[in-house]
Amino acid sequence: MHYFVSDIHLGSGDAAEQREVERTFLDFLSKIEGDAETLILAGDIFDFWFEYKQVVPKGFVRVLGRLAELSDKGVQIIMLTGNHDMWVGDYLTKECGISLFTKPQTLSLAGKTLFVAHGDNMNIKNMPVLRVMNAMFRSKSLRWLVSWLVHPNCFVRFGKWWSGRSRKSHGEAVDAKVLEPLIRYATDYGKEYDVDYFIFGHMHYAADITEPERMLFMGDWHSQPTYISLDNNGEIKLNYING
């Protein structure tokens, strides 16, 4: 089996909420351990991650330990970074055996072609502000500068505040309208390329759409914990943890 999750946002909310989301994710990891061949973490697994050459943010030890264990047992773990955790370095690869990608990926699994993306910064050609912000956030030189000029205590505190703020403004999506840009993107992409399944996170709204392309959207783990499973016959399914 191949499994997909996104938007766990570990570290967001108060201490009790953080523990609960962590516990739910750990239970999920235990559940899939027996039959998982691949685990794809499709972004925003951490509510904020910024990695210095010698320093990583505190926390997440149980999850990181479990991921390392799964990887040691032979599960292939792939992470596509999201808008909250794009500033990864080599720590997750070295410590937990996770293969990292900062861009959408086309994967071949179970005889199917999958287009997997976190879902941020797509269809932003006509949005100059977002494009500039995106370029800034992804700038290697800016990141290098920050990591040498700003003390980790200051920057991680700032990042957590910024993440909380950005999550409040995008919040929990209540309307399928939020999916529209991604649906447009996948529809156009599907005209040019042969894709069996499109998989997205980011919008915090779970949905399984069959027309004009099969598109599956994962929810966030604070309000709507979901995961996608793909079996070896190529059957794909959106699963809700609570029901």
Q: How far is the CB of 215 from Mn ion (least distance, A)?
A: 17
**CB contact set of 32 (below 8 Å; sequence gap of 6+):** 1, 3, 39
Q: Which tokens hold the place of 131? A: 């494009």
Nearest to 218 by CA among 129, 119, 97: 119
Choose which of 44, 47, 51, 213 interacts with Mn ion (CB under 5 A): 44
**Is residue 85 close enough to count as binding Mn ion by CB under 5 A?**
no
**Stretch of 1-9, 51-59, 157-165, 183-191 contacting Mn ion, by CB under 5 A:** 1-9
Closest residue to Mn ion, judged by C-beta, is 44
Q: How far is the CB of 46 from Mn ion (least distance, A)?
A: 10
Q: How far is the CB of 84 from Mn ion (least distance, A)?
A: 6
Q: Are strands 226-230 and 215-217 parallel, antiparallel or unpaired?
A: unpaired
Q: How far is the CB of 131 from Mn ion (least distance, A)?
A: 20
Q: Give the H or E element holding residue 46.
A: none
Cβ proximity of 36 and 3 under 8 Å: yes
Q: How far is CA 111 from CA 98, 99, 195, 232, in A?
A: 23, 21, 11, 8
Choose which of 7, 22, 196, 213 interacts with Mn ion (CB under 5 A): 7
Helix locations, 139-233, DSSP H:
140-149, 152-170, 180-192
**Stretch of 44-52, 95-103, 119-127, 222-230 contacting Mn ion, by CB under 5 A:** 44-52
- Nearest residue (CB) to Mn ion, 44 versus 196: 44
Q: How far is the CB of 83 from Mn ion (least distance, A)?
A: 7
Count the site residues for Mn ion by CB under 5 A: 2
CA gap 237, 43 in Å, rounded: 19
- Nearest residue (CB) to Mn ion, 42 versus 75: 42
- Nearest residue (CB) to Mn ion, 147 versus 226: 226
Beta-bridged to residue 174, according to DSSP, are: none
- Nearest residue (CB) to Mn ion, 44 versus 51: 44
Q: How far is the CB of 28 from Mn ion (least distance, A)?
A: 17
CB atoms within 10 A of CB 56: 18
- Nearest residue (CB) to Mn ion, 7 versus 196: 7
Residues that bind Mn ion (CB under 5 A): 7, 44
